[in-house]
Structure 1
Amino acid sequence: MHYKRKESFRYTYTEPCKATFRLIKDAVGLTEPEKSKKGSCDIIDISPHGLKIFTEFSIAIEKHIHVELNFTIDESPIDLIGEFVWSHRKINGYEYGINFPEDTYTEQLIVNELKNLRKKSMNIKK
């Protein structure tokens, strides 16, 4: 069996990770991008290349807006800008898929934070 070491993985939280987000409307011409007020969301799952969030807010993702996310997986705060890929209506709100631009440093930070989180959860179970 061929093992793909470089293939990304997805970590699903047993309890969602709390995060905040701000919508960014792309700049037109020489104007600055517009940012919304902060909203709260829960991260349902995450990989080095993207994540799935749940929030009560309806977001018109077809308007090509980006999202600034702020969260902590284990200890290091992570601030990322991503792009909405899909949305699904749920009973209490909405789920959104968000992709991150390729960034080796951020990808490695997410992997390391997930490893630390997993190690801590394994030590608690012992």
Structure 2
Amino acid sequence: MIRSALRYLLAAFYALAGYRHLVDPEPFLKITPGWVPWPEQAVLLTGIAEILGAAALAQPYSRRLMQAGGIGLALYALCVWPANVNHLLMDAAREDGGWGLAYHVPRMVAQPVLIWLALWTSLTIDWPFARVPR
């Protein structure tokens, strides 16, 4: 029951984030690393990926589709990690410190948790709660 509730919560989080990428891309463009080609298209595609991943994760009818959504969102979170690191470095270079470490450190810690949560709630992995066979 907790797993399902967290799955729907995660899907809602990603759906909202995807929506934000589409309707207000500017904050995401600001933190996109300079080496990313076609940043506007990358932000648009990441928004679409979040919405599609959320939809797949939230549907209860196909385990394979739910797992595809979880794997996709886990890979997505891994791929956007450089933007989060870039944001941390940009803020650290600012006179006023930007959002500050109180924002960025939990965000850096949350990234692997989001990756695990996408895989665990989609029933792709059971770690660390798998039962050990006797």
TM-score after normalising by structure 2: 0.27
Higher relative contact order (CA 8 A, sep 6+): 2
Structure having the larger proportion of residues in helix: 2
TM-score after normalising by structure 1: 0.28
Structure having the larger proportion of residues in strand: 1
